[in-house]
Amino acid sequence: MAEALLAAKELTRRFGGLVAVDRVSLDLHRGEIHALIGTNGAGKSTLINLLAGELAASSGTISFRGEALARLRPERMARLGVGRTFQRSNVFAELSAFENCRLAAQARLPRAWAVHESAQRCETSNTAAARALDTVGLSPRGRVAASELSHGERRGLEIAMCLATDPHVLLLDEPLGGMGTEESRQVLGLLRSLRDGRAILLVEHDMDAVFAVADVITVMADGSVLASGPPERVRNDQAVRAAYLGETI
Amino acid sequence: MSKARPGLLLLALFALVALPALTGKFYVELVAKIMIMAVFAMSLDLLVGVTGLVSLGHAAFFGLSGYMLVLAAPDKYAAVSLWTSLPLAVAASALLALVIGALALRTRGVYFIMVTLAFSQMVYFVFHDTRVAGGSDGTYLYTKPQTNIGSWATFDLANSTHFYYAMLVLLILSLAFLRILLASRFGHALRGIRSNEQRMRALGFNTYAYKLAAFTIAGAIAGLAGYFSAVQFGFVNPEMLSWHQSANVLLMVILGGMGNLIGAIVGAFALVLTQDLFSSLTKHWLLLMGGFVIAAVMLLPHGLTGGGLAWRNRLRGARGG
Amino acid sequence: MDLHTFLIQLLNGVQYGLLLFLVSSGLTLLFGIMGIINVAHGSFYMVGAYLAWSLAGMLDSFWLALPAGIALMVLIGLLLEASLIKRLYDRDHLHQVLLTYGLILMFEETRSLLWGDDVHGLQIPQLLSASFPLTETLSYPVYRLWISAVCLGVAALMVWVIQKTRLGMMIRAGAANREMVESLGIDIRLVFRVVFAAGIALAGLAGMIAAPVSAIFPGMGNQVLIVCFVVVVIGGIGSVSGALVAALLIGFIDTFGKVFLPDYSGMLVYLLMAVILVWRPEGLFRQRAA
């Protein structure tokens, strides 16, 4: 098995007396969609925030390509190639969808100090933005202000912005939230196509979606990992069944 | 930009160019002063309107530059060269901005506002309490800087009309520079920071570095304005660094409309002319001024030019976390 | 410096710090609970001092002037909140700063109109004019000790109100989640009005009790305001205990600074702030919820 692109080992995060994430270990491999499921409050969003560098861990390590990382910051993780989406759409409301993606694409361009170069005429970022929008099917809506997009479209824009930075690892926090069936199916198809060459962490509540697309599933409850492995094994795991008592998985 | 805008701007430019031919010395000097304040206000607009950094201590960079000019003269009556003293003064302001910014930008939101105020007070006290350049009394600039390049006598800063056109050139060059800056990737990043800093960081932008760069550039341009303000008045005193000066220029920015630079220029004209009007009406004109400020904030939330982009309550989001 | 002088400076430092705390507590509560940055806060300190001077003259008694002054300040606070301040809750900090700056200008000119621009002094009330003997040769003014006592008493009262009363509970809840409190039928606007008026009254009270020992002069409001900002920044916005610690710290540094480094004492406070910010960008006792 190739080495993990992004790996968490014994990751813990405490908020005062509350242990939100309790010694969680997780590997994200290239070419894999790794789904993370669990009830509300299981610690999934906190884990994503830890992996994205938004939160500092109380203990444990995060490694990128085998190298342990110290002093994580969101911009540093992003520069390493770890992209993320937010659970609640976190876009630039006054900018158009296209401008949102272009700004994202400009994040990792060199020579930020070249103040004489116009941003609007930057070919590299314009191309990357157009491509990202096209991948999520938002090209016709490129000129619309982000605040005026529908909820589902904004979720799509979230993903497009992440893609515009050309990440190796995608951390997706409930990308399907609030989407209809058809839209969800399109996004799942998109994820499958993105899998090549990238590692994807997918936090989701929609069980059908998860089992349709995931290569590996990790189940969390109360901050710790209940089970982890291929979908069928997880589906039949006793502990998981007990935790989801009454729910059909 | 609305269709009428470029036409209006051209008209305004024409009026400014023609002014000295149409009026007397009083108005020429007044408008020259306003143009200096406009440059000062534009530099603050870069911080407040574009990047979303509300600084209540911007006068520190304005005043330091003026003081540097006075301190640069080897003796009281000697005339320094514009071409050496100006870069020195601006560099001093930029350096101060770099130092203050490096520390102040570790804070956010309301903390940032208070911290910039406190740092500029520190600078104020340096000049007010110590004997550097006259303490609380200030110092006179006995001779205006001379502008000779080699043996070529270019223009005379002591001549009101020459000074006026020099300030007009300064205003146009500053506006042009800032426009280009705002159109660049750097400028777009600054706007992104104002819009949603968390997202910018998540995308990979080192927002601290961008903010510090903006803060330093703004400080340098404020220094540019402060230098010529000292030249015009022939006098520097700690009031140039006071927080009243900082609040004044902040008011210009918000009065005119934030984020589009033109608003800062409009705001400078509006505020100085209003102050002039009120002070000619009564000794207690500050009362009118206070009422005017309150009315402006309540009735014109987007300023006279409507602001550049829709102003989001982004700063409020910083409260509590 | 001998022990006696040290003791006196120590007591001065505590007294100054506690006064600062009284003014700053209003500022930090206003911000922590209502999200309002009020740069006119120092003006209320000034108004308190001038009111004390006028009322003590009119009523011929400092002891009558105190409650009268407090009542007036509360009234001013209520009126101000109902007319202007309540419009600021949903505005951003920039607008809050500028609107309250406009208030400063109006307060300053009104003060100039009503009381003129001269410096005034106020007599220490007869009852407290004695001096407390520290040694055979040195004594310390009882009045200054009384100031510290009042400040501590008010601080204790504040803690009690916030922690132990229903009003305090509503305040804390309103700070954490305004909509929820409103949906429970509690009129959060009334709570805010009370908090604002209380904050103003605190600043005014500080001005009143400080009047006999400091000069009453036009710039006193601005002077105290900026130091209060430093207190709030160092202590952490919204934290009353942070404000206490920070105010005392500043009280000491300023008092001893004036003794050892008179030329630079003005800057010391800001230097302290710079040092603390490098270490802790969100103040010493940052509150999370409010």
Say how many CB pairs under 8 Å bridge A and B: 85
Length of chain B: 321
Tens digits of residue pLDDT in B154-210? 888 888 899 999 999 999 999 999 999 999 999 999 999 999 999 999 999 999 999
Q: What is the mean pLDDT of residues C13-27?
A: 92
Looking at every residue in chain A, the average pLDDT score rounds to: 89
The pLDDT value given to residue C289: 35
- The topology under which CATH files domain A1-81+167-249 is Rossmann fold (3.40.50)
- Integer Cα distance of A134 and B205 in angstroms: 24
Q: Which of A31-40, B56-65, C259-268 holds the top average pLDDT?
A: B56-65
Instruction: Read off the amino acid at residue C128.
Output: L
Strand order in the sheet with A32-38: A82-84, A169-173, A199-203, A32-38, A216-221, A224-229
Is B204 within 8 Å of chain A by CB? yes
Q: Which chains touch B (3 or more CB pairs under 8 A)?
A: A, C
Q: Which of A132-136, C31-35, C137-141, C237-241 holds the top average pLDDT?
A: A132-136
The pLDDT value given to residue B129: 83
Percent of chain A clearing pLDDT 70 (strictly above): 97
Would residue B176 count as lying in a domain? Answer: yes
Count how many domains chain C has: 1
Percent of chain C clearing pLDDT 90 (strictly above): 25
pLDDT at A217 over 90: yes
Domain boundaries, position C46: 9-116+124-217
The pLDDT value given to residue A101: 96
Q: Which of A72-76, C182-186, C189-193 holds the top average pLDDT?
A: A72-76
Is B247 within 8 Å of chain C by CB? yes
The pLDDT value given to residue B312: 37
Among B110, B117, B293, beta carbon nearest to C237:
B110
Would residue B63 count as lying in a domain? Answer: yes
pLDDT at C62 over 90: no
CA distance B109 to chain C (A): 8
Q: What is the mean pLDDT of residues A188-192?
A: 90
Domain boundaries, position B90: 27-240+309-318
- DSSP letter string over B117-151? HHHHHHHHHHHHHSSGGGGGG-EE--SPPB--BTT
Residue B311's pLDDT band, with cuts at 50, 70 and 90, is: very low
Interface of A with B (CB under 8 A): 52, 54, 73-75, 78-79, 84, 86, 90-95, 103-104, 106-109, 112-120, 122, 125, 161, 165
Q: Return the C-alpha torsion angle A69, A168, A191, A204, nearest 10.
A: 10
- Chain B residues with CB under 8 Å of C250 CB are none
Would residue C243 count as lying in a domain? Answer: no
Would residue B252 count as lying in a domain? Answer: no
Would residue B109 count as lying in a domain? Answer: yes
Are C95 and B254 within 8 A, CB to CB?
yes
Tens digits of residue pLDDT in B155-167? 888 888 999 999 9
Q: What is the mean pLDDT of residues B90-116?
A: 92
Give me the residue label for tokens 């409850």.
A221
pLDDT at B136 over 90: no
What is the distance, to the nearest Å, from the Cα of residue A3 to the centroid of all Cα atoms in its chain? Answer: 20
The pLDDT value given to residue A104: 95
- Of C193-197, C270-274, C285-289, where does mean pLDDT reach its minimum? C285-289
C76/A238: higher pLDDT: C76
Q: What is the mean pLDDT of residues B36-49?
A: 97
pLDDT at B316 over 50: no
Is B50 within 8 Å of chain A by CB? no
Are B187 and A115 within 8 A, CB to CB?
yes
Instruction: Locate CATH 3.40.50.300 in chain A.
Output: 1-81+167-249
pLDDT at B309 over 60: no
- Chain C residues with CB under 8 Å of B103 CB are 274, 277-278
